[in-house]
Copies of this chain bind each other. A is one copy, B any other.
């Protein structure tokens, strides 16, 4: 492990480092069991402080590409990253940041199995003396189907609602709506990347509307970090052995093109990673192994293409019949 090098150690940061290490291990195990294959690991150092441990499963039985990455970075916050970050940057001082998180993106081989993304992260903003100015959690998970199975969207959202409700019944509706708002290709008439899930940022203990105790906030984000076992696992089992056609595959490659567009043009995490000098191969592990940009044809009514596009309009998947 390369992460301790050059870090400002505090008990709180040690705790957060242990938290993301634990989550990365759990998620790695989950996907290895689903696939039967194994992740390879690459450790990297960040010039300026910290580094990461990226795990990649390639050409697996189920997953054409799966990435389970952990980063723990700190140092001076570049001004252009500070502008986008949205926290309380210390006034009249060079802002320093600490961030640790786990990012997961898996691209299944079969177009019948949806792509899933999960991220949990913890941020701190300090001044040069290590004085804490702001700290918050962010995270979420969302599903991107490549084939129109409304049942999968229902299962994913119901599972997330169940998990979130145990913490506070207001969490799922608020963070489901936030997810629907965030994962959109503004330049594609605001089309959603997938069928959503939950998303949140800048969650701080004691703040409205949830007024989390510090431990309760940490527990909620941990629940989201562990959500895939129940929310995604059963979908993979149900869809992995279905036969599919070339047309199904073409639709997957087309939707993956939109996935690339969102991640490179709009995604805050991707842009933050590239701006702050994280390892590019790790930041861009979210890109699919293969993607297509075919000439656009309006899909015929009732076609799989039209049905999948229709599923992208946000709706109340968790509670509909």
Contact = CB atoms under 8 A, between A and B. Distances in A.
B293 A56 contact: no
A303 to B, nearest CB: 19
Contacts of A287: 257, 293
B264 A260 contact: yes
Given A264-B264, A265-B264, A274-B265, A284 B293 contact: yes
Nearest to A293: B287
Nearest to A58: B295
Interface residues of A, number: 27
Given A264-B264, A292-B289, A280 B188 contact: yes
Given A264-B264, A264-B265, A187 B290 contact: no
Nearest to A285: B293
Nearest to A274: B187
Given A284-B293, A290-B293, 12 more contacts: A56-B295, A58-B294, A65-B293, A65-B295, A187-B274, A188-B280, A189-B280, A260-B264, A261-B264, A264-B264, A265-B265, A290-B290
A194 interface: no
A258 B292 CA distance: 14
Interface string A72-90: 0000000000000000000
A296 B281 contact: yes
Given A188-B280, A265-B274, A280-B188, A290 B260 contact: no
A122 to B, nearest CB: 24
Nearest to A257: B287
Nearest to A294: B289
Contacts of A257: 287
A264 B65 CA distance: 22
Contacts of A295: 56, 58, 65
A276 to B, nearest CB: 11
Given A264-B260, A274-B187, A291 B294 contact: no
- Among A188, A257, A287, A291, max chain B CB count under 10 A is at A291
A282 to B, nearest CB: 10
A43 to B, nearest CB: 15
21 contacts: A56-B295, A58-B295, A65-B295, A187-B274, A188-B280, A253-B290, A257-B287, A260-B260, A260-B264, A264-B264, A264-B265, A265-B265, A284-B293, A287-B293, A289-B292, A289-B293, A290-B291, A290-B292, A290-B293, A291-B292, A291-B293
A79 to B, nearest CB: 15
A288 interface: yes
Interface string A155-192: 00000000000000000000000000000000111000
Nearest to A265: B264
A131 to B, nearest CB: 32
- Among A56, A253, A265, A281, max chain B CB count under 10 A is at A265
Contacts of A56: 295
Contacts of A296: 281
Contacts of A253: 290
